[in-house]
Structure 1
């Protein structure tokens, strides 16, 4: 099913991009600049390699077990979006993003979430997973962790009360970046290990969170393909790729910002000019 957004120019980045966490976040910022300057809007499905803990924008660095992440070779970066930290396992996580000018989207944030999550819900339906927005709030189990925060009906997707996807938006400089994490396979011990004093255990995690693999046993390759094809059809996107200029900008931004201690630990953007 296509949307009214399909009247605009969209590109889908080839299935499934595998890059480092800092580079993935830098590419989204660059894609927003491209859309803002009259270029194509972007949809994509991507993978984090190495596995990465992405912190929410306002999350305190003290909530991270830095020694554990170092020992497990887990990268740490910070998203420009809010919410809790997400451990993006290279196998266990499937991520997507939708990037477009804000003037083309509802200004009401909840309406915007519900619009941009339509293809995600449609993809779950094609996978025979009965996923939908949470009908009510659920209390937090461990606030620093995205999948264990209080469940929000505005943007959290659940299956029978268990969270399967978290989604977040960044709205600035006339563009919207919506990205989301979809749980393909649970890795509770590693998820919890990324956080300092997680106040819970693997059993409680499994009670709160579910995954595509647990629900239907679909292969990861087929799950990724279903999501990518649904996003493509919903926007009527053409096959695209990053330009050489975008890749060069993103590489520079990844090192200068998304891998820097100033951004990751102190939430200070070293690339901002006063």
Structure 2
């Protein structure tokens, strides 16, 4: 499979990034192309999962802190995007033979990239608690390791989520370079489970750059990867992801 690579040195807002990822998903569903996108957020952003209850978060505190907030098109839990490499994969489901296979295969490639940097990355074996439990005890994306997720010393270094559209899927996630997920707790109305995250800086004992990690991912990808221009999303798509009616809809 030939992959089209989008590598962005300049960060974008949460709404712009989600619109781009959604555009890649739509393009993949229509044309059958496969995309690998590497990017980051500017300014830092709180993203929440598509189905998370909005009332978990204190809008007044978020406004007071001047935070960028976006609701993702994918599921999962909240992520604080600050010092990270964000990846997105949009491809036909048939490339991997199913969504579960895709989740595992993508994480295997990301784990290989992290190992090439010097960290002993493995895939988790344990299943997370039932979703009904998480609804009553909300947690950030990085609080609870699940089967197939990328771990270093038993702690999550990557948090990922998926969504399907027709014959294609989108999987995107955060590879933590440094920092914490404490901002999620700071703007939450309910107690959150403590983050079980670690960062590449913590496990390697040195600063790791965006470009260093991006290079490692591209090298570990295996399939042919060629640079491409990013399909521009319709302006209505960015407007949708920036609209309060979408962000605070649940």
TM (normalized to structure 2)? 0.88
Q: Conserved in 1, the CA contact under 8 Å of 2:79 and 2:181?
A: no
Q: In 2 relative to 1, CA 234–71 (structure 1 residues): closer, same or farther, beyond 3 Å?
A: farther
Structure 1 counterpart of 2:75:
82
- Number of the residue aligned with 2:219: 230
Provide the secondary structure at the position in 1 that maps to 2:51.
Answer: coil
Given candidates 29, 35, 46, the residue that maps to 2:39 is 46
Select the residue among 223, 227, 230 that pairs with 1:239. 227
Structure 1 residues 118-267: aligned runs within 5 Å: 118-137=108-127, 143-148=138-143, 150-154=144-148, 156-199=149-192, 204-205=194-195, 208-216=196-204, 217-230=206-219, 233-242=221-230, 246-247=231-232, 249=234, 251-255=235-239, 257-266=240-249
> What are the residue-to-residue correspondences of 1:87-106 with 2, within 5 Å?
87-89=80-82, 92-106=83-97
Task: Supply the distance in 1 between the matched residues of 2:13 and 2:57 (Cα, whole angstroms).
Answer: 19
- CA gap of 1:144–1:262, structure 2 versus 1, over 3 A, is farther
Residue of structure 1 equivalent to 2:101: 111
SS of the residue 2:189 aligns to: coil
In the alignment, structure 2 segments of 5+ residues that lack a partner are: none
Residues 66-111 of structure 1 deviation map (CA, whole Å, 9 limit, x = unaligned): 222222222111112111111111xx2221011111232222x332
TM (normalized to structure 1)?
Answer: 0.80
Determine the C-alpha separation between the residues in 2 that align with 1:88 and 1:142: 22
Kindly report the root-mean-square deviation, in angstroms, between the aligned alpha carbons of the 2 structures: 2.3
Q: CA deviation at 1:142?
A: 5.4
